[in-house]
Amino acid sequence: MDILVPVITMTALGFLFSIGLVLAYRKLRVEEDPKIEEVMEMLPQANCGACGYSGCRAFAEAVVQGKVEPSGCTVGGESVANDIAAALGVQAGEIIKKVARVHCRGTKEAAKDRGFYVGISTCSASHLVGGNKQCSYGCLGFGDCVRVCTFDAMHMNNEGLPVVSEEKCTACGKCVDACPRNILDLCHLSQNILVFCRSLDRGPTARKVCKNACISCGICARASPEAIVMEDNLAIIKDYKKIAPEHIPLIEKCPTDAIGRLSKDDEG
């Protein structure tokens, strides 16, 4: 029978407080737009922040208030944007599918090691001490980008470079932030010519440390002067849409393959 006293006491206390809360809720209830919840359910719930808001909830609020177009969610892509647009009766907005690209071809074989690195096996740690590769701009190969990817869209290939799956990549940009050497970038999916090097070293040095480095010979820039420029010993594609089809064979004459089309190896 002794057990009854505490049971009754706690039940009574709990009841008392819940009545208090119910009364308070009646007074303090906040009316919220039910559309926010509706949009929320359509979103991918990745909370990745690719849209520029602090999470899916914040994005849903912004969409409902009309501050941003439904296409702002790159992760959901076209289908989600269209669903939201239909539910809210607004325009979905233009969707440009982007994908993360690896701008380095410094494979284990091509880019020589600077020494034998035995520190913490992350790119950021290796980068702090100058990196394990001779090239001070290239991929370090420890896969920090692969680890931050929440969509399972990246993996390291046998040659020690990260590979992005076009299908799975949602262009959230986490890998771009994770890479201490800024090798990753979000590019339009349709961009077929890329520069696979970030080295600002001068030609001879660049060639010495990596077989696939841009040696700033300028062949590509002469082939397509409107689209490609040489800056700081590196070819830069200013506007890939200006690369005419007839320029492509000339660009592909690159002696080190530092610029060109994506090959099978670069895709997932």
Q: Which residues bind another protein (CB under 8 A)?
A: 5-6, 9-10, 13-14, 17-18, 20-21, 24-25, 28-30, 128
Judged on CB neighbours under 10 Å (0-12, 13-18, 19+), 226 is: exposed
Q: How far is the CB of 97 from another protein (least distance, A)?
A: 31
What six digits make up the tokens of 40? 């929320």
Which residue's CB is nearer to another protein, number 57 or number 208?
A: 57
Report the nearest approach of another protein to the CB of residue 64 (Å): 14
With respect to another protein, which residue has the nearer C-beta, 28 or 118? 28
Other Cβ atoms within 10 Å of 55 Cβ, number: 14
Distance CA 58, CA 47 (A): 10
Beta bridge partners of 194: 260
Rounded CA separation 133/142 (Å): 11
Select 21 or 244, whichever has its Cβ closest to another protein. 21
Residue 136 has phi, psi (to 5 degrees) of -90, 15
Residue with smaller CB distance to another protein, 31 or 246: 31
Least distance from another protein to the Cβ atom of residue 30, Å: 5
Give the nearest distance from C-beta 146 to another protein in angstroms.
23
Measured from the CB atom, is 122 or 165 closer to another protein? 122
Residue nearer to another protein on the CB measure, 30 or 118 = 30
Measure the CA–CA gap between 264 and 108, rounded to whole angstroms: 18
Q: Nearest approach, Cβ of 19 to another protein (angstroms)? A: 10
Q: How far is the CB of 1 from another protein (least distance, A)?
A: 14
By beta-carbon proximity to another protein, the closer residue of 7 and 244 is 7
The sign of the torsion formed by the CA atoms of 162, 210, 180, 200 equals negative
Q: Smallest distance, Å, CB 178 to another protein?
A: 16
